[in-house]
Amino acid sequence: MATKHLNQIDLAARWNISHRTLERWRWTGEGPRFVKLGGRVVYRLEDIEEYEREQMRASTARTFTNPAA
């Protein structure tokens, strides 16, 4: 089975964000893993889907743990 890849324009469209946001995330080490082939950046679909799963939330409330507990 061949691995499906999306370029940053395709991923930006999938998430309805600017491709510049993806560029900034790569610079800051945020966002999904990516592959750089020469000067071209692509994202493996499996890495995108993993990142999306990691971002799943049931609430917008922050969860704090008590380090003394």
| Domain spans in the chain, listed from the N-terminal domain onward | 7-54
50 residue type, one letter: E
d(CA 45, CA 25): 17
Interatomic CA distance for residues 8 and 36, integer angstroms: 11
For the chain, give the percent of residues with pLDDT over 70.
Answer: 87
Confidence of residue 60 (pLDDT cuts 50, 70, 90): confident
What pLDDT shows up at residue 23?
Answer: 96
Which two tokens mark 54? 């990691």
Query: pLDDT of 7-38, one tens digit each?
Result: 999 999 999 999 999 999 999 999 999 999 89
Query: Residue 4 — pLDDT band, cuts 50, 70, 90?
Result: very high
